[in-house]
Structure 1
Amino acid sequence: MDHEETARPTGTPPPLRADAGGDFAGRVALVTGAARGIGAATARLLAARGAAVAVNYRKSAERAQEVVDAVTRAGGRAVALQGDVTDAEQVDALVAAVEAELGPVDVLVLNAAGIGAHEARIAPATELGWDDLELVVVRQLKALFLTTRVVLPGMTERGRGSIVAVGAALARRPAPRFLPLAVAKAGVAAAVRSLATEAGPHGVRVNAVEPNLVLTELAHGVPEQQRRAAAERAALRRNGTPEDVAEIIAFAASERAGYLTGACLLADGGTTFA
């Protein structure tokens, strides 16, 4: 979340021109939850660097198509594909559609949390019920597990691939009232490390990127004073943007990070350890 003196503005990002010789030339990327925010920024960036991108969405068909249109105007290739990544049958259908439209998945970005922001309760732990915790944790881990389970076998068979999960700095430095999300994102970090040990011998890397408060549309619901305080806690004295996080995801997914696996990269502007 941001404030102008301590953060970048949140307007529409400048168009990215597709580079046929970029880091992801000839690669197919699937970005889950890519209709808006970090997912949309990542889809646009991967396409600009040469990938053919599947823009996954659950409900926001119009927003996903806007991402596809932006990629197409810039000379890239993308398709919008619906699918709830917490539903096994829909995940199977989603990956089959990606392969039919674009080809086998080389890069998987696990951005979808499996739950809408309005569905998760933010409250002191003593005011939460077990269902509140279970809802967030189970959906988050299902979104990661079900998609990875379908995509990983093809990657291992081909002897290459990169998976990047979007975690959260909350997994390392929890905050009051966010117990379910902190537990869920700690689970993401554990899953990434475990998957990395299994996939590494087959040439597949698995990493996570852990942002803190990012200036997405959802951040507009956070009071200005809280956004300003979050920015002031950061060593860089600003909040992050979706484009900031997308750059780190793209690095982790690329062959430039060919010796990086099992890592959870903080993308918090120096907040966690500032």
Structure 2
Amino acid sequence: MALSLQSTTTAPGGKSSIRIPRLGLGVYQIAQSNCISACKTAFGEGYRLIDTAQLYRNEEQVGAAIRECGLDRADIFVTTKQGVRGETPKATYDFAIESIKSISGFGGYIDLFLIHVPWIRGEAEGRREIWQVMERLLDEGKVKAIGVSNYDVEHLEEMKAYAKVWPPAVNQIELHPWRQQRGLVAYCEKNGIVLQAYSPLAEGAKMDDPVLRTVADKHGKTPAQVLIRYGLQKDWVVLPKSEKAERIKENADVFGFELDEQDMRTLDGLDEGMA
């Protein structure tokens, strides 16, 4: 089936599986003053996935954009992340509830809630506590699916000792041709963990790479569009970040061409071998 902006992938949820849009807008480092307009622009272009986090300090603005965009809440998929452990399990839980209220209001829900990083106060104990909070939210119907971010194989394996819900629905990690994390990707694929790719544009640092530019010129596309298409053809959920309307539109214009096998091998060859 040909990919489109409406394409989704399936991940395990609470009462049933969930459908995650394959392309979304990341709002990391987007200022509060610009976040609402960026999200509304994305919705207008057909995006239905917004990726935020407590750390980004713009959950409230994402929520405002959802309320103002004219779309049904059920047609929008929101991911947020928690990286803070409270002084008590109740405080940890309350942090999560504040995120839900900020985005979806009192009595609302989050489509996908992730543990942001494994480097949490208390290390293994902290990871366990936050995951158990996520499981509680899932049981209560306050979230539809739960997952992790920046977890390596050792962290995913560790979860088996305490997790009632395993595997996590998602592992969101940095993925692009120069950082392919092949061992971790293979582990997630083997265990049915959906991969979400943050920084798919390598933070803009590689746009002048001659190999990338050759592939882009071949297809008459920008380097950014090639990188997004590469991630989509890897079966990742791709989360490019931008607050500029023209870039948000450009980043969605990746469904009218396809990278061939040689293109994919060429881009695979850019991996810098980081684990």
Under TM normalisation by the shorter chain, which class is it?
0.3 to 0.5
- Normalised TM-score (structure 2): 0.38
Structure number with greater CO (CA < 8 Å, separation at least 6) is: 1
Quick check: which one's helix share is greater? 1
